[in-house]
Amino acid sequence: MAKKCVYCNGEVSDDCAIDVCDKCGVGTWGQKMFSAIKKQMNDAKANNDLCSTNMNFDKEFKGNSFKHI
């Protein structure tokens, strides 16, 4: 199942770390910046360095901060 772009609902590859299509990404940040964003996010995904803020919300929420495991 393909992911959808958060701006236009166009298809985004499942292996892409961000939910923004190329057309919207370039239109929002410009070619050079969007290329840098995609590279850094995809590298972080490959290194398992991305953190989802939706993980164990009820268990991890402590006042105004999150406990990072």
Task: Report the chain (69 residues): mean pLDDT per 10 consecutive residues.
Answer: 89 91 96 96 87 56 54
Question: What pLDDT, on a 0 to 100 scale, did the predictor assign at position 1?
Answer: 61
Beta-strand relationship, 11-12 and 61-62: unpaired
The whole domain housing 44 covers 3-66
β-pair partners for 31 = none
Give dist(CA 4, CA 51) in Å, integer: 20
Q: How many domains does the chain have?
A: 1
Question: What pLDDT, on a 0 to 100 scale, did the predictor assign at position 65?
Answer: 57
